[in-house]
Every structure is written in structure tokens, then in C-alpha cells.
Amino acid sequence: MTAKRRIKAKATKIKPKRAKNLSPGTVAYTGKKSTTVTELDIIDYSKEHYHRYRTNNIEEAFNYEDSTNITWINVNGLSNADDIIKLGTHFELHPLIQEDIVSTYQRPKIDEYDDYLFIVFKMLHYDNDRLNYEHISMIMGKDYVLTFQEAEGDVFSDLRERLEHDKGRIRGVGADYLMFAILDAVVDNYFTVIEYLSNKVELLEDKLFDKKEDPDIAEEIQQLKKEILKIRKAVVPLREVVNRLEKIDYTIIEERTNKYIRDLYDHIIQVNESVEIYREMIWSLMDMYMTTISNKMNEVMKVLTIMASIFIPLTFLAGIYGMNFDHMPELHLRYGYYYIWGLMILVFLGLLWYFKRKKWI
């Protein structure tokens, strides 16, 4: 019951949703997380300086953008179209970008504009054994990075800590490195998601090998299939995105960042390979399950065959001497009853030996 509802809830995510029949460029949120408030989480930093600021007032973000520091404006909540449009207008974002930011169905992609790069990707996380899918858009300009999330809660906490405590090289370099670091955090997170999935696969395998009765295994396998398909839907296009990012000739991206992007590309390929391997393994689980069912049926059949093959002939023997013919000499033998018991025991042992030789028992 609950399993079914869970599946439905997830299945809906695979369906491509789109605000229907709106004029292209219309900004209409298509997701389900209705945090009506748009919250901004602004981090303004340079090598010497670090400042974090949270607000619900869009205009406050504009001050930061003009500073010479690098500014990372993270927007939580996409349901308030006005706010998105206000931000979009200030940063001179093309209407189609504004549409993509709120269209949670949008697949990962990269678009180059004159003054900024626009990247769409998906954040995955298992929440209460459910695979969640969050739509994130990122705009990288000369000295700022904008990120848009559906709701609060993300995989960037480590990154923020590194920024705050000036760990690694991040504070000393430009917005392009910040962009890389954000993508890197997302891809790192994919490894976590796959590890979680791999545990689920192994658990299911153990269940199958244990040969316990569990009619829900087919359902669970189907569920895993859906999850791996969803992960793939996020990972495969991101690979193209990073590949293109590597090849882009873009003044904002400094030479030294390229090495890191190449490294990121290695990682996303690796995620990809793991996804493909788990896909194959999940698909082959179904075959495994099929053999398990057949093995069980074999066992059931054997019990039936042994019981029936032993007792049906014996019952026949008993039936013979239950007949009421006037002339049945055996009935009047002194030890007839014991002879027949002996015969029955012989038949019984003979059949046991037969089944033993066949290795059925």
C-alpha cells in the first residue's frame, strides 16, 4: 500500500512536467515545494574579506553585486515569480533563462551568453529512503555567481565552511573557481547517492540469496529501476555540460581553473560508469528473482511429489485389503496383517531410497 504510493510519488518525477501552453519565456514555477518566501543567502568574499548575509529582500542583493569582491547569491524558493523576474531584470537575464530557472523539469544544460554562463543541473539526495530531485540553476558572471534552489537545504555546507575559514585556494581565486567548486560539490554528492543505492542493491541481493518468501521483491526491483533511471537522467546530461564547459573559450574562466574542470569531468565520467554498472546489475536482479521463484516452486513440487508418490501406492495397498470379496485368502492368513505391514514398509523404504538417489531429499 505504502510502497505503491511511494512509487507513484516518485514516478511523477520522471514525467516531464511543463507549464502547459504558456508563451515561451513565461516565468511559472512547475515544482512542488511551495515556500512562498524567496530567501537570499549572500556570501561576499575576497582573500581578506568574508561576509555572509541572509535576507528576504531582493533589492539588498544588488548592493553586493557591485562590490569588487566575489559575490555568491544563493536564492532559496522559486515559487514567487515576481522575485525571480526582479532579480532577472537586474542581472539582465534573458527571459528564457528566467523561464528555465523556475521550470523544474528542465534537463541539465549549459548556455553561453555574452556576459555570463547559465548552467542547469540536478541535486540528488535520498531522504527517508526516497530519492529526491532538486532543480538548481547557476549563473556565473565576472565577479558573481547566482544559484537558484527550490528549497533550503543543500550539499554546499562544506563549501561554505571552506569559504568562511579560508581553507584551500578558494578565497584567493575568481568566480570561475566558485562555479567549479559548486559543481564539484554536486558531483561529489552523486557518489554518495550511488553508494546509498548500491547498499539497497546489495540488501536486495541478500534477500534474494536468502530465499525467504517476499512477494514485494519485484516491486522493490522495479523501484530501483526507476531510481537508477532518474539518477541517469541527472548524470548523463551533466556529463555533456561539463565536457562543454571544458572546451568553452571564455575569458571569465581562467587558465588554471581548466585543470580542475578536467578533473571534474573525470569524476562525472566515473559517476556515469557506476550508474551504468548498477543499471546492469539491477536489471539482472530480475532474472535472479525469476530463478529464485522457480527454485522455490521446484522445492514445493518436490515435497508434493515425495508425499504423494509414497502414500498413494500405500493407500492403494490398504484399499486392496479393504475390499469385501467373499474369497480373499490373504485376509484369513494368521499373520496376513503383519505381512502387509511388512510389504508397506518395504515399499516405503524403496521409494525413500529412490528419492534419495535422485538427491531430492
Q: Write down the least CB distance from residue 190 to its own copies, Å.
A: 9
Name the strand (E) or helix (H) holding 136: strand 130-140
User: Interface mask (CB under 8 A) for its own copies, residues 130-159, using x and -?
Assistant: ----------------------------xx
If the CB atoms of residues 146 and 271 are measured against its own copies, the closer one turns out to be 271
Q: Which of 34, 55, 63, 192 binds its own copies (CB under 8 A)?
A: 192
If the CB atoms of residues 3 and 352 are measured against its own copies, the closer one turns out to be 3
Q: Write down the least CB distance from residue 64 to its own copies, Å.
A: 24
Calpha distance 96→102 (Å, rounded): 10
Which part of the chain contacts its own copies (CB under 8 A), choosing from 77-85, 123-131, 188-196, 246-254? 188-196
Q: Is 259 in the site for its own copies (CB under 8 A)?
A: yes
If the CB atoms of residues 79 and 274 are measured against its own copies, the closer one turns out to be 274
Calpha distance 134→359 (Å, rounded): 56
Calpha distance 184→123 (Å, rounded): 12
Calpha distance 183→136 (Å, rounded): 11
**Quick check: 132 and 231 in contact, CB under 8 A?**
no
Positions in 31-90 near its own copies (CB under 8 A): none
Q: Write down the least CB distance from residue 265 to its own copies, Å.
A: 10
Q: Which of 33, 51, 86, 109 binds its own copies (CB under 8 A)?
A: 109
Q: Is 15 in the site for its own copies (CB under 8 A)?
A: yes
111 strand-pairing partners: 118
Calpha distance 37→150 (Å, rounded): 11
* 297: its cell numbers: 516452486
Q: Is 23 in the site for its own copies (CB under 8 A)?
A: yes
CB atoms within 10 A of CB 119: 23
Q: Is 170 in the site for its own copies (CB under 8 A)?
A: yes
Q: Which of 32, 167, 247, 356 binds its own copies (CB under 8 A)?
A: 167
Q: Is 96 in the site for its own copies (CB under 8 A)?
A: yes
Q: What is the DSSP string of 270-284?
A: HHHHHHHHHHHHHHH
Place of cell 581562467: 254
Query: CA 277 → CA 206, 228, 268, distances in Å?
Result: 18, 10, 14
Total residues in contact with its own copies, by rule CB under 8 A? 122
If the CB atoms of residues 128 and 259 are measured against its own copies, the closer one turns out to be 259
Calpha distance 160→153 (Å, rounded): 13
User: Interface mask (CB under 8 A) for its own copies, residues 274-313, using x and -?
Assistant: x--x--xx-xx-xxxxxxxxxxxxx-xxxxxx-xxx-xxx
